[in-house]
Amino acid sequence: MNITIFGSGYVGLVTAACFADVGNEVLCVDIDEAKVARLRQGQIPIYEPGLTELVLKNAAEGRLRFTTDAAAGVAHGLYQFIAVGTPPNEDGSADLQYVLAVARSIARHMDGYRLVVSKSTVPVGTADKVSAALREVLQERGATPEFDVVSNPEFLKEGDAIADFNKPDRIIVGADSPRAAKLMQTLYAPFNRNHDRVIVMDVRSSELTKYAANAMLATKISFMNEMANLAERIGADIEKVRIGIGADPRIGYHFIYPGAGYGGSCFPKDVKALVKSASDADFDAAILKAVEQVNDNQKQTLYRKLRKHLGSLQGKTIAVWGLAFKPRTDDMREAASRTLIEAIWADGGKVRAHDPVAMKEAQRIYGDRPDFALLDSPMAAAEGADALAVVTEWRVFQSPNLGRLKQLLRQPLIVDGRNLYDPAWMKSEGFVYDCVGRPTPAA
């Protein structure tokens, strides 16, 4: 298959590398000349386990190429994937300008049938807008090539994207023509050998499926955080509650860990966009609004705990373990660490931080400043700090040398946004340990 992918960000690059790895000829098109130059030199702009090796392998073997030439991209691929960003507007709606710009570019150069595939996360009705943009430009050209537009949302978890693409739970295809559906089934056949994972539906249902999936997962997280906050006030242990309810197969254990709030590039943006879509349809999405409100509040929980124990943070130094919004990624978009760090600074405090992979991203976001130090190990970050805040559940944080940690901290205070440690154990080691939704052990 000849495949063109517009956009070489997270979704586009993973999609391109995985399609190329099963033998397809893939051409990535991006308007960022510097990014394309770096990709041609083997420099991968994002951190994702296994992605660098996959890109380098398939580029070396000639199946994966990068260009800024949109005309070459349209000429290359029967399949024209749109995988560009849809950043939120101020009102929470998805900004479709880049999606529609790609559609117009395809229409300017196509000279025969093309299957246009929307991989970007977009609101319901976007495929109609893409079709309209294609038709408008074709009419201006006086050209009459046929096309289909399908919705093929991605369900990639950052940190596990390669495995998710190669062994998907489901492959959603929104298609309004049998030809388009058949072409998509053929394309995904190498990823569909064990049993049929392709679910074909109408385009609008496919577009909503992506938003509904992320909104459901975000809802589970906010619900557990709500329960954790209640548990703290009534003396229950949310970890025991989690195990108890997770044993019910109707609920399950996935996404019911309480913590410091969800972040990343998907959940916050997609919940906002779905709320806006509901509003545009004259529907009040009350549950989704509550999910968002609970999450915004939860991101303040570690700062509130620090204030509870230390009072004002003026002149205090806080060690922060974890900057990425989750392990196995360097993504800090909407991360709980950013809410905490900025609250500490606003209160006059300083931050010493460590993250296994996200420190370069933190440096890019915040630059050089006297109240922010990035250290090369967890213990180095803890040295001389008035308290430790655990924000991301990286494995390297899960079994620290507590004796050494206690010596390095000015006072043995840990606020844990991921419930990594046993409260009784921490108390026996001489720490003041404040986590999420778990009672403090009796003296």
Burial class (CB in 10 A: 0-12, 13-18, 19+), 377: exposed
Q: So which residues are the catalytic ones? A: 266
Strands 25-29, 64-67: pairing is parallel
Question: Can you read off the two tokens belonging to residue 353?
Answer: 């931080």
How many C-beta neighbours within 10 Å does residue 270 have? 25
Q: How far apart are CA 312 and CA 315, in angstroms?
A: 9
Q: What backbone torsions phi and psi does residue 291 show, to the nearest 5 degrees?
A: -55, -45
With CA atoms as reference, report the closest residue to 271 among 218, 325, 208: 218
Strand partners, 114: 147
Tokens 């915004």, located at residue: 296
Q: Which residues contact 329 (CB under 8 A, 6 or more apart)?
A: 47, 48, 158, 159, 264, 357, 358
Q: 52 CB contacts (<8 Å, ≥6 apart)?
A: 42, 44
Q: Report H helices in 144-285.
A: 161-166, 178-187, 203-234, 238-246, 267-280
